[in-house]
């Protein structure tokens, strides 16, 4: 049976090529934190490696990477971008679990509240939304920007598809 | 790898979402924590995709066994992306704020404050069996989520060292 084949040989190379670009991202963030984090994340993890691959292939410096290798690199990058908000916004769940791990005797709800809101507060998330231009306006007149409406619309549709109401947050 | 099988693997998030939409409507599933249902749907989707590749590529086409590994890793990474999108819809504070503002509820007027943010997480982690409430105190348990959280926490410290110097 004739069938189209896709080259996924040496796919594991894609797992190795991701590491240096992740290290570059870490180095840049520690030394010169970017203003537009998401854009620069795409630059270092997607655009830069893809550009290098295209130049590599164009100049025929060596064997080309298979589709499988490129896909795995992109999937690792996409997974990291998916969990990046947990780093950027100081995930309360992560901090809560680490807090309880440091206090094996346990903590009361008040103690948990006091510690968690010291490191991560909701007002900071409203500021994040304004800095990312998902919200526009100021004070009591906050509105969704066009991108904010797109994102909100996506999640509303997604939750309806799953038969669920709004998440608890 | 055949193109049709390659696309079948690439569509793992679609299979996970479809299964999730079906299972989530079953009454018995509604009683379970939502993240547990989402996680199980992802696991089942990855297992189905990997086994399909195993049967088709390995047994029928006598293909390379490493293709099954590729399918397993790729579908796991794809399902993981789906799980995080669902998790964002369920737990992300910024998404909740966006949806409330869309409905005309300002952050000042919202019932969702720092207190409810913490309480929702404590209840959710208890429901998932990641922590327990003993004599009025929340106690951590050894768990995969606990280990993952420590890795995320240390990575956050690597990324944003100035954030932790203040504390």
pLDDT in tens, B98-148: 999 898 888 888 888 888 888 899 999 999 999 999 999 999 988 888 888
To 5 degrees, how large is the angle CA A13–CA A85–CA A159?
A: 100
Q: Do B160 and A29 touch (CB under 8 A)?
A: yes
Letter string b/e over residues B86-108, b meaning 16 or more CB atoms within 10 A of that residue's CB: bbbbbbbbbbbbbbbbbeeeebe
Question: Where residue A123 falls among pLDDT bands split at 50, 70, 90?
Answer: confident
- Among B45, B162, B112, B91, smallest CA distance to A123 is for B112
Q: How far is A13 from chain B (nearest CA, A)?
A: 11
Q: Per-residue pLDDT for A117 more than 90?
A: no
pLDDT in tens, B15-29: 999 999 999 999 999
Determine the pLDDT at residue A139.
Answer: 64
Averaged confidence pLDDT in chain A: 87
Q: Look at phi and psi of residue B143 and say left if phi exceeds 0, alpha if psi is from -120 to 50, else beta.
A: beta
Query: What is the average per-residue pLDDT within B49-69?
Result: 81
Q: Mean pLDDT of all residues in chain B?
A: 89
Beta-carbon contacts of residue A95 (< 8 Å; ≥ 6 apart)? A115, A116, A119, A120, B153
Q: Look at residue B54 and tell me whether its pLDDT is greater than 50.
A: yes
Distance CA B52, CA A16 (A): 27
Both structure tokens of B119: 């309480």
* Terminal Cα distance for chain B, rounded: 52
Dist. CA B83–CA B141, nearest whole Å: 23
Question: Which residues from A are below 8 Å from B129, CB to CB?
Answer: none
Question: Are the C-beta atoms of A48 and A21 separated by less than 8 Å?
Answer: yes
β-partners of residue B2 are A5
Give start and end residues of each alpha helix (H) in chain B: 3-10, 12-23, 27-30, 34-53, 66-91, 93-102, 114-127, 144-159, 161-165
- How much is the average pLDDT of A107-113? 90
Q: Span A134-153, mean pLDDT?
A: 87
Q: How far is CA A118 from CA A90, A96, A137, in A?
A: 11, 12, 27
Q: Is the pLDDT confidence value at A91 over 50? A: yes
Residue B55 pLDDT more than 50? yes
Q: Tell me the nearest-neighbour CA distance from B67 into chain A, angstroms.
A: 8
Please state, as a whole number, how many other Cβ atoms lie within 10 Å of the Cβ of residue B129: 12
| Confidence at residue A29, expressed as pLDDT on a 0 to 100 scale | 93
Q: Which residues of A touch B17 (CB under 8 A)?
A: 161-162
User: Residue A61: pLDDT above 80?
Assistant: no
pLDDT range class, residue B167, cuts 50, 70, 90: very low
Q: Are B55 and B80 in contact (CB under 8 A)?
A: no
Q: What angle do CA A114, A111, A94 make, to 5 degrees?
A: 75
Taking the C-alpha atoms of residue B110 and residue A155, their distance in angstroms, rounded to an integer, is 19
The ipTM value here is 0.87
In A137-156, the residues whose Cβ lies within 8 Å of chain B are 140, 142-144, 148-149, 151-152, 155-156
**Residue A75 vs residues A71, A86, B38, B42, B75: alpha-carbon distances, Å:** 6, 18, 20, 16, 10
Mean pLDDT: which of A134-138, B42-46, B118-122 is highest? Answer: B42-46
Mean pLDDT of A45-74: 85
What confidence score (pLDDT) does residue A67 get?
Answer: 86
Q: Is the pLDDT of residue A119 over 70?
A: no
Mean pLDDT throughout A44-49?
94
Q: What is the pLDDT of residue A153?
A: 94
Among A2-11, A18-27, A84-93, B110-119, top mean pLDDT goes to: A18-27
């Amino acid at each position: 049976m004739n069938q189209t084949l896709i080259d996924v040989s040496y796919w594991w190379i894609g797992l190795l090529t991701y590491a240096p670009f992740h290290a570059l991202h870490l180095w840049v963030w520690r030394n010169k934190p970017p203003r537009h984090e998401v854009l620069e994340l795409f630059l270092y993890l997607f655009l830069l490696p893809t550009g290098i691959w295209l130049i590599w292939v164009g100049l025929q410096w060596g064997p080309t990477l298979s589709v499988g290798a490129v896909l795995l690199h992109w999937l690792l990058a996409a997974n990291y971008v998916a969990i990046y908000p947990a780093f950027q916004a100081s995930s309360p769940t992560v901090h809560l679990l680490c807090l309880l791990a440091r206090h094996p005797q346990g903590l009361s709800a008040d103690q948990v509240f006091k510690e968690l809101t010291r490191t991560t507060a909701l007002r900071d998330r409203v500021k994040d939304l304004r800095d990312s231009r998902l919200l526009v306006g100021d004070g009591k007149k906050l509105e969704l920007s066009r991108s904010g409406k797109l994102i909100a619309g996506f999640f509303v549709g997604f939750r309806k598809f799953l038969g669920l109401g709004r998440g608890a947050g | 790898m055949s193109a049709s099988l390659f696309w079948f693997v690439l569509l793992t998030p679609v299979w996970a979402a479809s299964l999730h939409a079906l299972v989530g409507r079953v009454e018995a599933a509604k009683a379970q924590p939502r993240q547990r249902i989402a996680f199980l749907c992802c696991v089942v989707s990855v297992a189905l995709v990997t086994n399909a590749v195993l049967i088709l590529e390995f047994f029928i086409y006598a293909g390379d066994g490493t293709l099954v590994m590729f399918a397993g890793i790729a579908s796991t990474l794809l399902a993981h992306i789906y799980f995080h999108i669902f998790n964002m819809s369920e737990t992300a504070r910024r998404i909740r704020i966006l949806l409330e503002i869309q409905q005309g509820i300002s952050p000042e007027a919202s019932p969702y404050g720092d207190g409810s943010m913490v309480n929702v997480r404590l209840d959710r982690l208890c429901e998932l069996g990641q922590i327990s409430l003993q004599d009025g105190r929340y106690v951590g348990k050894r768990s995969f989520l606990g280990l993952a959280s420590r890795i995320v926490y240390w990575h956050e410290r690597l990324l944003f060292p100035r954030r932790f110097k203040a504390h």
